[in-house]
């Protein structure tokens, strides 16, 4: 990609790139807390990540939010950053920055809430995966609604969930929570766009 193309992409989808930058900066802070450049220490993850028992027993609710930006390794960060930029920039341009940000945070939070509710109290987790599944679910469902093929969209969404959630040490519960939020958002927004398009066609025919 040429420098000009990259700058254009950043300018039009700056919120996605800002979220990616926040993830990177938080990861650097994790390494700082760990005193290492290899990977975050248990201390850093306990301090910043989602520790279920600290949420339920000590009411550290802020972890539901901060854990969305915490990553467990360079590979974890790199994969999530790639998919955030690849998928997030598409959704940001289509639905607008405010809706996009609301979806991102809501999907990430809901995935983490489900994690606390359904998983072992001593589970420690983190990552943008819940939010990313929200983005993916929204893109798939919007396309399904606009093409009037919701059943296929749902099947594609859950197929995506299955192939990305079977590996060990993956928080499938957070994935599912984010995906459900994305599907709901995509369904509502897809129908909103469809109604607007129908009204535009009506007025074009009327005049």
Q: Residue 190: give its domain's CATH number.
A: 1.20.1540.10
Instruction: Specify the pLDDT at position 143.
Output: 94
Instruction: Specify the pLDDT at position 10.
Output: 72
Q: Answer whether residue 6 shows pLDDT above 60.
A: no
Question: Which residue in the list 71, 76, 89, 129 is annotated as catalytic?
Answer: 129
- From residue 54, how far is each of 18, 48, 64, 198 by CA, in Å? 29, 11, 11, 50
Instruction: Tell me if residue 93 falls in helix, strand or coil.
Output: helix
pLDDT in tens, 164-201: 888 777 899 999 999 999 999 999 999 999 988 877 66
Instruction: Specify the pLDDT at position 169.
Output: 78
- From residue 9, how far is each of 17, 21, 120, 128, 135 by CA, in Å? 9, 15, 41, 21, 18
Q: Answer whether residue 8 shows pLDDT above 70.
A: no
Instruction: Specify the pLDDT at position 4.
Output: 62
Question: Which residue in the list 76, 89, 125, 175 is annotated as catalytic?
Answer: 175
| Average pLDDT value for residue range 78-91 | 95
Specify the number of domains making up the chain: 1
Q: Would residue 175 show up in a list of annotated catalytic residues for this protein? A: yes
pLDDT in tens, 15-54: 999 999 999 999 999 999 999 988 999 999 999 999 999 9
Residues of the domain holding 76: 3-206
pLDDT in tens, 134-163: 999 999 999 999 998 899 999 999 988 988
Q: Is 4 left (phi over 0), alpha (psi -120 to 50) or beta?
A: alpha
8 Å CB contact between 18 and 59: no
Q: Would residue 12 show up in a list of annotated catalytic residues for this protein? A: no
């Amino acid at each position: 990609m040429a420098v000009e193309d990259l700058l254009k992409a950043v300018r039009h989808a700056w919120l996605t790139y800002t979220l990616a930058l926040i993830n990177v900066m938080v990861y650097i802070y994790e390494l700082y807390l760990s005193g290492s450049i290899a990977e975050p220490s248990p201390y850093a993850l306990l301090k910043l990540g989602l520790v279920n028992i600290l949420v339920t027993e000590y009411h550290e609710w802020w972890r539901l939010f901060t854990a969305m930006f915490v990553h467990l390794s360079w590979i974890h960060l790199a994969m999530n950053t790639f998919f955030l930029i690849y998928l997030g920039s598409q959704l940001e341009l289509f639905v607008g920055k405010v809706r996009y940000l609301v979806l991102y945070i809501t999907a990430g939070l809901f995935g983490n809430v489900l994690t606390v509710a359904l998983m072992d109290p001593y589970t420690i987790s983190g990552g943008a995966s819940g939010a990313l599944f929200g983005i993916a679910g929204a893109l798939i469902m919007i396309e399904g609604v606009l093409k009037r093929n919701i059943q296929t969209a749902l099947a594609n969404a859950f197929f995506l969930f299955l192939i990305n959630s079977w590996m060990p040490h993956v928080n499938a519960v957070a994935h599912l929570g984010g995906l459900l939020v994305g599907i709901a958002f995509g369904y509502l927004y897809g129908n909103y766009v469809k109604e607007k398009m129908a009204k535009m066609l009506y007025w074009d025919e009327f005049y």
